[in-house]
Amino acid sequence: MKKVSFLQSIHVKFVLIYILLILFAMEIIGVYFVNKLEEKMVKNFKDSIVLRTKTIKYSLLDVLTDKEDQDTSTKIKRILSGYSNVSDIAEVRVVNNRSVILGTSDSDNQGLVGQKMTNELIKLATSTEEQQDEVYFDLSTKKRIWILTFPIESNGKIYGYIYLVSKIESVYNQLDEINNIFTTGTAIAMIITAILGIVLAQTITRPIADMRRQALAMSKGNFSRKVKVYGNDEIGQLAYSFNHMTKKLQEAQATTEGERRKLTSVLSNMTDGVIATDRRGRVILINDAAIEMIDVSRETVLSQNIVTTLRIEKDHTFNDLLNQQDSIILDFSTDEDTYILRGNISVIQSETGFVSGIIIVLHDITEQEKIDMERREFVANVSHELRTPLTTMRSYLEALADGAWQDKEIAPRFISVTQNETERMIRMVNDLFKLSKMDREDDPLVKDWINFIEFFHHIIDRFEMTKPEYITFKRKLPNEALFVEMDEDKMTQILDNIISNAIKYSPEGGQITFRVKAQEESIVISISDQGLGIPKDKLKKIFERFYRVDKARTRQMGGTGLGLAIAKEMVEAHGGSISANSVEGKGTTINISLPFDRSLEDDWS
């Protein structure tokens, strides 16, 4: 968060606003007060001067109205001399009706007596016969003066004028002193106001600062702090509400965090892949299962378009997925492996119809597709395998019905073929019945502890008596007894199928080798022949039902294509595994691994 500068602080703003308001109020009060005080002081000064002027007027009126008195100038001088040292009066002159100076209080201006005054104010007074006054600025003394021209009249007759110069600058000097006092008082008030403003601002800004610190702590996920409530005013109520909001946010965050963890746990542990996009089709969420399914990295697909992520940009656009009602099939199969996914699409849409994205749930349907394919192949193979002998039997039976049964040479051969095909169908049906019982788990194992070496010798001995003379057996079996818990009948079927196949496909002069090797937790039984071998690309398929490497030769030899499939099912039922190694043209080895516990060897020995 950006740091608040000093001038941007609400504390400083509050104090400044408080000071400015007080200063504005003081200025308004000061201006009004000073203006009114100036008017009052000037009025009082002028009134006092006018009052003195009237006193002078009455003193001079007797002198000016006495026409027989010959010593008028001396009397006027004596009257005016009493005002020569008055502090507020600079000079008093007496002027007759013709503007001639009859006397002055200023001893320095006695030479002006008898001269005519040309002052504009005197001219205005003599012309109007009324009192005139004006404030002037004296350039010589650089002070303001007030000049008053007052008529000397009696019974409506004017005998002359008093010209009085007063020192009004003293009034303004007093006003300046009062302004200085007011300014000093204002400054002191501002200082006190600032101090009080800071104290008062702290009472308001302290809880706000606490709330700011709490908001910063909340942004970092810390909801443990609380704002101190300093009072029950609006700010106190705000602090209380803030603490209540903090508690609710803490509960909401805990709930949200719990739901997020649940969702994360669900997404992480889902076997299905989940991909979510925004409204523009960019990937915003993908779980581990989806990453593994489509073989990508999280950093690569995030913010990538969904059609690019699913590698369907050639066939679909994001708008196609929005309008897709059914699921889509994603085929990631290669020449070697089959890999198919189904994507169920759900559009994230608000009540107003605004689309904010889609969610695609991926299911691995490879096994299901394989099962469906195997089921179709199984039905086709069973139909084919049954149709071939039935067609052959029908042909021979029709020939016999048409009279071939009377031919002593052909009839026995036709009957023999029909019997062979019938036995082949019986073997096939029996094998299918065995597989069906194992699939339904209706054929449980009857296990017992068997000395496998002795048991294996017995199986080999039985085939030794019936094998063709051009095939030889070679035994590489240990001399010690190895006891294995197994179903003797089922294991006999397994070994019979494998040894029978080895004999069928062994060439003249071929050798079949039998081996048993004991390991820590299992024994490995190997049966090797020197036949044609199996191509590498077909080796993994030989344990599938009805699969034949060479179908023509297998059918000619009477095989059903189910022997190794049955062997695989039975071995896995014992908790073991079966595999094949082969080199084309050199032979094939079938390996069977069965669980084996060496610790029980001493008990059985």
DSSP at 345: E
pLDDT digits (tens, 9 = 90+) for 506-557: 888 889 999 999 888 889 999 999 888 888 777 777 777 666 665 544 444 4
Q: How far apart are CA 133 and CA 122, in angstroms?
A: 10
Q: Which residue has the tokens 């942004």?
A: 219
Strand partners, 522: 595
Highest mean pLDDT among 58-62, 85-89, 235-239, 572-576: 572-576
pLDDT digits (tens, 9 = 90+) for 6-52: 455 666 777 788 788 888 888 888 888 888 888 898 899 888 888 88
Q: How far apart are CA 315 and CA 313, in angstroms?
A: 6
pLDDT digits (tens, 9 = 90+) for 289-310: 888 888 888 888 888 888 888 8
Q: What value does the mean pLDDT of the chain take?
A: 81
Is 360 within 8 Å of 343 (Cβ atoms)? yes
> Could you tell me the strand order of the sheet in which 328-331 lies?
283-286, 273-277, 355-364, 340-349, 328-331
- Specify the pLDDT at position 553: 46
- Specify the pLDDT at position 378: 66
Range name among 12-26, 401-415, 558-572, 585-599 with the lowest pLDDT average: 558-572
- Rounded mean pLDDT of 144-166? 87
CA distances from 535 to 298, 335, 558 (A): 40, 16, 22
Phi-psi region of 305 (alpha: psi -120 to 50; beta: other; left: phi over 0): beta
Per the confidence metrics, is the pTM higher than 0.85?
no
Name the CA radius of gyration of the chain, rounded.
64
- Specify the pLDDT at position 555: 46
Range name among 161-170, 378-387, 469-478 with the lowest pLDDT average: 378-387
- Rounded mean pLDDT of 274-281? 88
